[in-house]
Amino acid sequence: MKMSQSLATIVVHLIFGTKARQRVLIPEIRLELFNFMASSAKRECSHVYEVDGVEDHVHMLVSLPRTLPLSKLVEVIKKESSRWLKKQHSALQLFSWQNGYGAFSVSASQIPAVRRYIQNQEKHHRQTSFQDELRAFLTKSNVSFDEKYLWD
């Protein structure tokens, strides 16, 4: 008896910030950091569509491998990138990411729009704070949240 094949396409927009929203992701380190984060995701068999961010948070548009829980993918990306940042930049020896993250499903038809959104983080955040942005994503996605647990 032949077992049928399991197929899936799950695309997720990840958003997570630095611990206490410290503004330490300066432009001089971002490109290298984002490339490293993409490499970490790819090692977990995730397709990386886009990575960008500003001083206090990162956006990633990635596929979720069907055999890997989302929490594990995020854990690997955050853990490896935190370790890498500390090794590369002595001023960031105490760096860490916030404990949580936001994850929002993206349909295939919306991938180009989400990529453009992620690519325009600098411009977007001239007008909108990370906190307001995340609240808007949560509200738009009908995710219940308690403000006192949202930030660490």
pLDDT tens across 99-125, in order?
999 999 999 999 999 999 999 998 988
| Structural domain containing residue 102 | 11-138
The answer to whether residue 4 sits within a structural domain is: no
The answer to whether residue 116 sits within a structural domain is: yes
Q: Whole-angstrom Cα distance, residue 130 to residue 128?
A: 7
pLDDT of residue 94: 92
pLDDT of residue 29: 94
The answer to whether residue 150 sits within a structural domain is: no
pLDDT of residue 148: 80
The answer to whether residue 68 sits within a structural domain is: yes
pLDDT of residue 102: 93
Backbone angles phi and psi of 104, in degrees to 5: -130, 130
Closest to 82 (Cα-Cα) out of 48, 51, 44, 40: 40
| Domains: count for the chain | 1
Q: What are the pLDDT digits (tens) for 82-102?
A: 999 999 888 899 999 999 999
The answer to whether residue 66 sits within a structural domain is: yes
The answer to whether residue 88 sits within a structural domain is: yes
Q: Whole-angstrom Cα distance, residue 15 to residue 30?
A: 15
Closest to 57 (Cα-Cα) out of 124, 114, 115: 124
Q: At how many degrees (to 10) do helices 27-43 and 70-88 cross? A: 140
Secondary structure of residue 116 in the 3-state scheme: helix
Q: State the pTM of this model.
A: 0.90
The answer to whether residue 145 sits within a structural domain is: no
Query: Which parts of the chain register pLDDT below 50?
Result: none
**101: CB partners within 8 A, 6+ apart:** 14, 15, 16, 74, 78
